[in-house]
Amino acid sequence: MFKPVPMKKIRAIIYEKYIDDTIRTIGELGVVHLINIRDKLEEFEGKITPVEPGERYYKILSLLSRVERLIDDLQIKRKPTAKKTTVPRTPSDNFLDDIEKEVKQIESESTRINKEIEALKEKEDEPGVKKQINSLRKQLDEIAEKNATKLLTFEEVLKIEKEVEETKTFMGKTEKTYILEGWVPVEKVDEVTETILKVSGRSSIVEVVESDEHEEKEKPPTLLKNPKALESYETLTKSFGIPSYGEIDPTILMSITFPIFFGLMFGDIGHGLLLLIVSILGFIGKRKNVDLGEIGNYIIKGSTLLLFCSIFSIFFGILYGEFFGFSIYHEAWYAHGIGPPLSFLRNILVYIFILFDFDEGVIRLTNEELCEKLGLEYIPGPPHGPIWFSPFHEPWMLFILSIIIGAIHLSLGIFLDVVNKVRHGEYLEGILGPGMWLWFYIGLIRIVFTKNIVFTEWFKDAPISQPAKFVTSPVFLMLILPLILMFIGRVVTEGPIEGGMSVLESLIESISNTISYARILALNMAHEGFSKTFITLGGVSPEHGLAITITPVFIMSFLVGTIFVMVMEGLLSFIHTLRLHWVEWFLKFYEGEGIEFQPFKIERYYTITK
């Protein structure tokens, strides 16, 4: 799941007598990504020639165009049917001639009726003309109904034959044989090999060609293998770029962090429930193949992703104590119901901050003492406050948490870059590049948090005037030493100018990318701020729970505010969550320059072969 499906390259030499059947069989298997041999003829030293489209191809192309035009003119709907038409597996030229005769007859009938309709339209105001036009249109409908199955069958047969002829142009040819190359998933190699041999009467030669996946010349295509539930996340990964073969697929990791970030930004029980309803409706629409237009289809296709996001929105809404912008700290079901058993979650903040603040005694601090230590206003948990904390009243808590989350997320991204480079055999570049950067970044985060972001504190225990003490200090070991090694490594691998600029870029990114995670706080504040503003405009205080007086003004303001927050803030939260993954995280380790695995596939909806 963390890397693409392993591939093997096969090469088959097929006697020309069996080439059409072989291509159809490979298409029915749907597991071979064909390689265009035209692009690598020099490897065969002039022993093969490219295959050019023949007369049969252009005949099929012309006939297919006429059939498609008839289907459109007669307004025949393309929808699969349970009853399929039996057709020859290898349509002969005589079979194509028969198709052409029937198409010509249908064209003649429909053309004659259409001409009559056009002629009558010129005198449409005369008595009885509209009735004649309607009668002729009814005849067209009868022609469509009578020939729908036939035309859809013709279209499918001709499309398949067109694909067969086009596939030949991917191959090379000798006087009597065709040479086919393609990438196949390792687990399917034996099946493909046996199938080709069987179809060709064991007269073909099929071999597995060993290739170096790290070669720049010809990389295997990428086939991702993720659980069906993560299809939406995989789409986001592919939208940035297809993973290179052998590169880590970040889909699984993103499926964990994406809804968490979104939930932190969009944390509200009520809004999360609305999003949950939308995602469930989208999921139902997806299963029933509902078409809601371009925008609606985005929701349908991303329903699984929205489902996870809505769950985390509800979860963090519970922790924040927010319900449609109302603070529900004083509600009995919250303060005395779900609050007390979940109050242990409030201590998570203490444990999170322990990871970054290394002063002795922090582990014994309560939330109140921690807030005092950090200079923050303390709001108690249930029954007088939220289960976790209120970002609207304690923004610095979410700010610090956002930076910590960013540090962890970016560290993971840099580590994945080390893994990618090591797996590709780039050991020196991996260790002295992202390896040293990770060392430096972790040291920077630790020292910043330990010294409370006061630069002068860093060198307090490590004066430069005392070299022996300085080189053993945390500042030297965790910042300066990895920086020096990273500079040396990048100068060696990239050159003095590019290497120096690369180090400088890493230093800037270490700070700017980390600060960028503060957008989690910004989006949350905007979300809660707008929610509470619209409630206040309705003449109600959002801080006093749900015991309110309902007025027409409040209803109008609440509805407008809810729609605005769901559409605008929901979209913004999604976009910024995506940005944190694509820009801040992906760019640390992900190239996305692969070629997607696109197997040659023949699918039949209207026909079966005999």
Indicate the pLDDT class of residue 361, thresholds 50, 70 and 90.
Answer: very low
SS3 of 167, please? helix
Query: Is 458 a residue whose pLDDT tops 60?
Result: no
The pLDDT value given to residue 261: 97
The larger pLDDT score, comparing residue 577 to residue 604, is at 577
What pLDDT score was predicted for residue 151? 92
Q: What is the pLDDT of residue 376?
A: 56
- Tell me what pLDDT residue 89 has: 84
The stretch 425-450 carries a mean pLDDT of 84
Of the pLDDT bands very low, low, confident and very high (cuts 50, 70, 90), residue 337 is confident
pLDDT band at 345 (very low <50, low <70, confident <90, very high): confident
Q: What is the mean pLDDT of residues 298-325?
A: 93
Which tokens sit at 58? 């252009």
Looking at domain 55-168, does it have CATH number 1.20.1460.20? yes
pLDDT of residue 160: 93
Is the pLDDT score of 300 beyond 90? Answer: no
Q: How far apart are alpha carbons 375 and 293 in whole angstroms?
A: 51
Give me the pLDDT at residue 468, please.
61
Q: What is the pLDDT of residue 576?
A: 96
Q: What is the mean pLDDT of the chain?
A: 85
DSSP 334-368: IIIIIHHHHGGGGHHHHHHHHTT---TTGGG--HH
Percent of the chain with pLDDT over 70: 89
Distance CA(589)–CA(253), nearest Å, equals 13
> In this model, does residue 194 exceed pLDDT 90?
yes
Higher-scoring residue by pLDDT: 239, 459:
239
pLDDT band at 362 (very low <50, low <70, confident <90, very high): very low
Q: Which amino acid, 542?
A: P
Give 139-166 pLDDT, tens digit per residue: 888 888 889 889 999 999 999 999 999 9
- Find where tokens 């109050």 sit: 343
User: Which residue spans of the chain are classified as CATH 1.20.1460.20?
Assistant: 55-168
* Mean pLDDT within 330-344: 82
What pLDDT, on a 0 to 100 scale, did the predictor assign at position 336? 82
Instruction: Indicate if the alpha-carbon torsion angle 388, 390, 393, 395 is positive or negative.
Output: positive
Instruction: For 552-590, write each residue's pLDDT tens digit.
Output: 999 999 999 999 999 999 999 999 999 999 999 999 999
For the ranges 14-28, 178-192, 240-254, 422-436, the lowest mean pLDDT is seen at: 422-436
Q: pLDDT at residue 483 above 90?
A: no
pLDDT at 290 over 80: no
In this prediction, residue 355 has a pLDDT band, given cuts at 50, 70 and 90, of: low
Measured distance CA(382)–CA(338) in Å, rounded: 9
Give the pLDDT mean for 383-398.
Answer: 83
pLDDT for 89-120, tens place per residue? Answer: 888 889 999 999 999 999 999 888 888 888 87
Q: Assess whether pLDDT exceeds 60 at residue 529.
A: yes
Count other Cβ atoms within 10 Å, centred on residue 29. Answer: 18
- Residue 287 three-state SS: helix
pLDDT at 348: 74
pLDDT recorded at residue 264: 96
The pair of structure tokens assigned to 48 is 């093969």
